[in-house]
């Protein structure tokens, strides 16, 4: 169900009236990889002659067998680099070692407690080869699914690359997700092997991932083996015949391994994300196109140079972590910083300390983090040397102009371009942004299409809208890193993305485009919330709520939040004879989904605003949650009085 993107909050209004334009500094422009002229020429070519354009990019990487056709488009199914055989882990590692980068640092990892480990490209390759052999020894074959439930340690990247190396399909589940979320994802993917750790570090305490894995394993018949990374004290109980320590498996494995050439369309990974129904979707990406998309965008959007120290703060549990903490930068031979831990541990200076200590040059983070830092005041970042930074990026949700300006001024010293990047789990790589040496930025607006991307703003009926008209963001042609299907549910793929408006990819976002072609993304138009840059389906949370014995009915909406972008608000109807205990209900949602889905506010209601046909009018609930006066036609409600009663209720 789609809504019109007009229930915008005040900061969205501010965004739409924002008219500052910030051009890249001359010295940045002079050294940039892509100039304005390059962009214009290459963008044109990418649309007019896509075969030549994409062949040129793909030809920079290694193919065991060349492709015979760049694109085979049987809407809504695309195949890219048809007939080609490659391997993304080979391109990220073996290829870089072969071109002389063996001694270059690939990963600098810092744990929350300050421990630092580094891997050169040669060392990382050796670990990935051993892990590939270890997985093979456990019986994992090409095409098999392997679920990863890991903290943000080098082993997460090693495990992903090892899967890719043998053609196994990884499914990374964020370490903050609950037992049932983990079990659902293992079952949906029918994974044979789970890779987890005895613990992860978060805000000074340890999260027992292995205990969750053990519980999930009782619900997941497909699971045969659990590989366990020792992150804490190697004290986790191990089940004979099922559980194997990662270090034992790797120590027993040879460091000799040839990457398996796989078809360009061989599945690389599945990553679950929320949609407008209760069940998360397994977004399926394949090898060749995803590789080319992440390779090209990392290089051009981040203006990547040999001596950059590149830091994307995203966890590998999200697409940003897949594309821009692991695959994109490693394909480019970059040095990547990885930090496992909270941004405010031991204090709010941690990010700035990391930048100073490791001389980070490129920082890619989320608006919610930027707004949290902003709240702590300028004195904190001012106490650190941030002069190594030369480029800043933002991703995950709309960035309000105020936060954009703060990031640019206080973190970037008005010296570093800020790239606001719009994309999705489904798009695989960045779709809209400004290229830092080519384009001026307009705070609050993501910007222009990346190479090969043809966006438009349309009505529900598929009519294209002109400059400044608000509508639905669509993409008019396939691109290499697009999702190929929803794992096990191609029908849902067709309907969700290509069935909403005929012939175009429907992103689920409301947006407008100005006369210069800059696209401002306003937010989701479906029942998906964006809380701190993470996608949550309202129906998922509602199902979790009604699964609690005290709840008869539930409706979940988002409320604009200064830090998180949106926060979760729940309206619940108690089951007769029960009282709702808000503390218990929040804990229940955490157990069912994960802490990030926990409602900030809960309204205990005696009824929900429904139409005569029984449909809940969330529009009104959003207004109540935001503390606004009720606007709109309430005459279709079965009992209009319910709104006054709800508005007079204090949330708990
Ligand atoms: C949704 C996708 C893609 C990486 C992380 C999120 C929102 C993402 C922006 C941006 C405005 C943005 C959209 C999109 N979004 N980036 N720069 N400006 N909105 O991936 O979890 O798949 O969520 O995040 O609403 O549809 P995701």
* All residues at 6 or more sequence positions from 468 whose CB lies less than 8 Å from its CB, including other chains: 512, 513, 514, 515
**CA-nearest residue, atom 3 of ligand 1:** 424
Residue pLDDT, tens place only, 165-222: 999 999 999 999 999 999 999 999 999 999 999 998 888 888 899 999 999 999 999 9
**CA-nearest residue, atom 7 of ligand 1:** 397
Cα pseudo-dihedral 474, 478, 480, 485, rounded to 10: 90
Residue 426 has pLDDT above 50, yes or no: yes
d(CA 81, CA 69): 6
pLDDT number for residue 105: 99
Strand partners, 393: 364, 419
What is residue 485's three-state secondary structure? strand
d(CA 176, CA 283): 19
At 18, the pLDDT band (50, 70, 90 cuts) reads: confident
Residue pLDDT, tens place only, 587-646: 999 999 999 999 999 999 999 999 988 889 999 999 999 999 999 999 889 998 999 999
What is residue 132's three-state secondary structure? helix
Rounded to the nearest angstrom, the distance between the alpha carbon of 424 and the centre of ligand 1 is 5
pLDDT number for residue 4: 42
**CA-nearest residue, atom 11 of ligand 1:** 398
- Provide the token pair at 91: 């391109």
What is residue 540's three-state secondary structure? helix
Q: Which stretch of DSSP H or E encloses residue 534?
A: strand 534-537
Residue to mutate (ligand 1; options 18, 269, 281, 423; most atoms within 8 A of CB): 423
pLDDT number for residue 270: 98
d(CA 283, CA 540): 17
Q: Distance between terminal CA atoms of the chain?
A: 29
Q: What is the mean pLDDT of residues 394-407?
A: 96
- 96 burial (CB, 10 Å; 0-12 / 13-18 / 19+) is buried
Ligand 1 neighbours (beta carbon < 6 A): 273, 319-320, 395-398, 420-425, 446, 507-509, 521, 523-524, 530, 535
Q: Given 3-state DSSP classes, what are the helix, strand and coil percentages for the chain, each rounded to the nearest 5?
A: 35, 25, 40
What is residue 303's three-state secondary structure? coil
* All residues at 6 or more sequence positions from 48 whose CB lies less than 8 Å from its CB, including other chains: none
Average pLDDT, the chain: 95
Cα pseudo-dihedral 347, 368, 380, 24, rounded to 10: 140
Q: What is the mean pLDDT of residues 476-481?
A: 98
Rounded to the nearest angstrom, the distance between the alpha carbon of 231 and the centre of ligand 1 is 31
The secondary structure of 490-513, three-state, reads HHHHHHHHHCCCCCCEEEEEEEEE
Q: What is the mean pLDDT of residues 352-375?
A: 97
**CA-nearest residue, atom 14 of ligand 1:** 424
Q: Which ligand 1 atom lies nearest to the CA of residue 507?
A: 26
As a whole number of Å, the CA-based R_g of the chain is 24
- Provide the token pair at 291: 């590789």
**CA-nearest residue, atom 19 of ligand 1:** 397
Rounded to the nearest angstrom, the distance between the alpha carbon of 395 and the centre of ligand 1 is 7
Q: What global pTM score does this model have?
A: 0.95
Q: Reading across the β-sheet that carries 601-604, which strands appear in turn?
A: 551-561, 565-574, 601-604
Nearest to 94 by CA among 305, 319, 256: 256
């Amino acid at each position: 169900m789609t809504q019109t993107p007009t229930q915008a909050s005040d900061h969205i209004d501010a965004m739409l009236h924002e008219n500052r334009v910030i051009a890249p500094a001359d010295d940045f422009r002079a050294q940039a990889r892509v100039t304005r002229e390059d962009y214009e020429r290459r963008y044109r070519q990418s649309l007019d002659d896509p075969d030549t354009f994409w062949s040129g990019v793909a030809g920079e990487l290694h193919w065991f067998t060349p492709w015979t056709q760049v694109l085979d488009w049987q809407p809504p199914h695309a195949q890219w680099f048809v007939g080609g055989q490659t391997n993304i882990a080979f391109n990220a590692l073996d290829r870089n070692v072969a071109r002389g980068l063996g001694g270059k640092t690939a990963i600098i990892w810092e744990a929350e407690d300050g421990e630092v480990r580094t891997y050169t490209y040669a060392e990382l390759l050796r670990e990935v080869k051993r892990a590939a052999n270890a997985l093979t020894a456990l019986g994992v074959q090409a095409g098999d699914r392997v679920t990863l439930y890991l903290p943000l340690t080098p082993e997460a990247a090693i495990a992903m690359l090892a899967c890719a190396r043998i053609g196994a399909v990884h499914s990374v589940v964020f370490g903050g997700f609950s037992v049932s979320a983990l079990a659902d994802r293992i079952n949906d993917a029918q994974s044979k092997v789970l890779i987890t750790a005895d613990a992860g570090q978060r805000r000074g305490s340890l999260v027992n991932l292995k205990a969750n894995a053990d519980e999930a394993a009782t619900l997941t018949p497909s699971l045969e083996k659990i590989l366990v990374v020792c992150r804490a004290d190697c004290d986790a109980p191990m089940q004979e015949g099922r559980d194997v320590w990662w270090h034992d498996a790797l120590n027993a494995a040879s460091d000799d391994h040839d990457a398996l050439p796989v078809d360009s369309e061989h599945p690389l990974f599945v990553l679950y994300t929320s949609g407008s129904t209760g069940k998360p979707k397994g977004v399926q990406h394949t090898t060749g196109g995803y590789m080319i998309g992440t390779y090209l965008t990392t290089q051009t959007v981040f203006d990547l140079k040999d001596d950059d120290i590149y830091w994307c703060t995203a966890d590998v549990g999200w697409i940003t972590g897949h594309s821009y903490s692991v695959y994109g930068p490693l394909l480019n031979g970059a040095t990547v910083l990885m930090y496992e831990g909270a941004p405010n541990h031991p204090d709010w200076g941690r990010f700035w300390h990391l930048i100073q200590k490791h001389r980070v040059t490129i920082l890619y983070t989320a608006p919610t983090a930027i707004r949290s830092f902003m709240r702590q005041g300028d004195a904190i970042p001012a106490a650190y040397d941030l002069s190594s930074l030369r480029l800043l990026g933002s991703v995950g949700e709309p960035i309000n102009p105020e936060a954009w300006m703060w990031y640019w001024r206080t973190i970037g010293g008005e010296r570093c371009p800020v790239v606001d990047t719009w994309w999705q789990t489904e798009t695989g790589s960045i779709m809209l942004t400004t290229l830092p040496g080519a384009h001026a930025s307009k705070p609050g607006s993501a910007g222009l299409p990346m190479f090969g991307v043809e966006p438009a703003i349309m009505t529900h009926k598929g009519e294209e809208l002109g400059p400044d008209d608000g509508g639905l963001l669509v993409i008019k042609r396939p691109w290499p890193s697009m999702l190929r299907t929803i794992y096990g549910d191609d029908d849902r793929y067709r309907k969700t993305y290509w069935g909403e408006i005929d012939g175009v990819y429907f992103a689920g976002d409301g947006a407008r485009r100005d006369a210069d072609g800059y696209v401002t993304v306003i937010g989701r138009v479906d029942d998906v919330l964006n809380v701190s840059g993470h996608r949550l389906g309202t129906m998922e949370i509602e199902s979790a709520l009604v699964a609690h014995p005290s709840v008869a009915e539930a409706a979940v909406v988002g409320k604009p939040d200064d830090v998180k972008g949106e926060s979760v608000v729940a309206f619940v109807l108690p089951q007769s004879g029960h009282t709702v205990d808000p503390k218990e209900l929040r804990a229940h949602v955490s157990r069912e989904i994960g802490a990030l889905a926990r409602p900030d506010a809960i309204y205990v209601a005696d009824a929900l605003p429904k139409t005569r046909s029984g449909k809940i009018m969330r529009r009104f609930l959003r207004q109540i949650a935001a503390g606004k006066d009720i606007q709109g036609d309430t005459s279709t409600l079965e009992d209009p009085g319910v709104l006054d009663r709800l508005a007079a209720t204090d949330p708990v």
